[in-house]
Structure 1
Amino acid sequence: MKKQTKIILGILACIMMMAIVLMYKRHWFGAGMKPKQAAISNSDRVVVRDTQEVILNPKKESPKEATQVEFPPNGNNIEDFVPELYKIIMDAEGLLNNDELEDVVLVLRNKTDSTDLRPTLVLLKQPEGGYRLYASAWLAIGAAYINGDYQQYDSEDISIDQKRNLIISTYGSGPVGNRETRYRFIDNELVFTYMEKFNAGAGQQTRVTYDVLNRKVTVEDINTMKEDMPAAVSHGTLPQHPPYLFKELDPTTVFSE
């Protein structure tokens, strides 16, 4: 065999050995690797269909289960609806349903457990006097504290405006951010009509508004790293869905599922 042929065969043998080694490494060291996108759970996404995909702040803690509490269906005054274990921490008066009688909304808190979910009661004034319990919602506002001693919101407020909207507002720093939810009686049911969320992070502020009745979502991203703080606005469409009922809704997850 000529010397030149031996050299060529030797080179080919080396190339084959290197290929085998590379395939071995790729199989054993790369098999468990996944693209970075796979680490983002689908539960933390909201799809803005016309423009882009928005990734919301994921929830850090699983919600507590609602306490099994029976509220009376009727009462002569608002105190009749407050169990011994609870106290009123917020209240609002105004016209909610289609009559001209002033209704009341209460937010209660467990006296012995600040991390317990806080029920929100909607009491409808009756023509003959007293109130009727329309609904009790355990997820409308969330717990006051999480992890025992961490206050979830800096401030909170509930109100009934002149357009008969029940408005629940929470304000917090960090990942919690600010949130306003609105509800209105439509066809004798108190339904979710609007939500606005605002979050500020390193170099960016994001405001998202959900016009539930018209199925519109608007996302505004503000770049705070630049002096003129430019804003990028995107618009999208919410999927068709039956009315979201106040007594069943969890506003923290309604558009993250």
Structure 2
Amino acid sequence: MKKQTKIIVAVLAAVLVLAMVFVYKLHWFGAGMKPQQAAISHPDSVVQAVVDTPEVTSLPKTDGPKAMPDVEFPQSGNKVEDFVTGTYEIAMDAKGFLDDDELEDVVLVLQNKTDSTDLRPTLVLLKQPEGGYHLYAASWQAIGAAYINGDYQQYDSEDIKIDQKRNLIISTFGSGPVGNRETRYRFINHELVLAYMETYNVGAGQQTRVEYDVFNSKVTVEDINTMKEDMPSTISHDTLPDHKPYLFKDIDPTVVFSE
């Protein structure tokens, strides 16, 4: 019996040692898992921020659209630079004949040097017979901000020009929902009004181009089905409702026809 007792004691001792080793390892492996478990249970913890940093920083910001700044520009100036006040600088400019005279006018798009997400004013400067320029109008919505949501560039490229038909043409090109847009403004009865707009957008399986012929109150829509190999297109026409002239200084091209 003594021999059997010794054997039983030895076996129990071995089992006890193995159990202690198992508990020891389980403790340390469990400790190694605790930070991730804590991150799941407490999403506001510092560990969560460290573990999920790439995913969190890649999410789009949710800042709302900027309000129109309360800024007044000079009504007249001897040179173009006289209208570039405060923290603004010239981002784009165009020269040409806009109104009915033969004096070369200037259009400026200004950018706030301290905030790239600020709305950019577009200034129409009419050359005066006696020299210098008169500020006809400033639009805060003609082109929109260069950056949105903090650091997201809104357009891939953009351009303004005055063509030979005395149209002010503003073009923006962007991927995704923003799409491409061209707006044309022309002086009619001494007011600069929206004459034409064209938009182009690409969606899932479809491309859509819309022409708004404002002067003739016509809308033309072309839908292209990109899901089929031959990419068939359908064209439809509609009529714009009667409306007073869309003044350059007042309208937002992104929503003017959304109704």
The equivalent position to 2:208 in structure 1, one of 171, 192, 206, is 206
Residue aligned with 1:79, SS: helix
Sort the Cα spacing of 1:255 and 1:62 in 2 relative to 1 into closer, same or farther, 3 A: farther
Do the aligned partners of 2:206 and 2:224 also contact (CA within 8 Å) in 1?
A: yes
TM-score (norm. length: structure 2): 0.75
Displacement over 6 Å in runs of 4+: none
For the residues of structure 1 that align with 2:86 and 2:246, how far apart are their CA atoms?
A: 31
Residue matched to 2:140: 138
Structure 2 unaligned regions, length at least 5: 1-61
Change (3 A) 1:101 1:241: same
Structure 2: how far apart are the matches of 1:62 and 1:243? 29
Query: What is the deviation of 1:63?
Result: 3.2
Give the counterpart letter for 2:202 in structure 1. Answer: A
SS, match of residue 162 in structure 1: coil
Matched with 2:104 is 102
Question: Any conservation in 1 of the 2:68–2:119 contact (CA below 8 Å)?
Answer: yes
Separation (CA, whole Å) in 2 of partners of 1:177 and 1:228: 23
| RMSD across aligned positions (CA) | 1.1
1:136 partner letter: A
CA distance in structure 1 between the partners assigned to 2:181 and 2:72 by the alignment: 29
**2:124 aligned partner:** 122
- Structure 1 counterpart of 2:256: 254
Unaligned runs of 5+ in 1: 1-59
How far apart, CA to CA, are the structure 2 residues paired with 1:228 and 1:138? 42
Task: Tell whether the 8 Å contact from 2:64 to 2:149 is kept in structure 1 after alignment.
Answer: no
What is the aligned partner in structure 2 of residue 227 from structure 1? Answer: 229
Report the structure, 1 or 2, having the larger helix content. 2
Q: Which has the higher contact order (CA 8 A, sep 6+)?
A: 1
Displacement of 1:64 in angstroms is: 1.6
CA distance in 2, matches of 1:104, 1:138: 17
Question: Any residues of structure 2 matched to 1:59-98 within 5 Å, and which?
Answer: 63-98=65-100
**Correspondence 1:111-190 to 2 at 5 A:** 111-190=113-192
Q: How many residues align?
A: 198
Which deviates more, 201-210 or 166-175? Answer: 201-210
Larger radius of gyration: 2
Cα contact 2:182–2:199 (8 A) shared by 1: yes
Please name the residue that 2:239 is paired with.
237
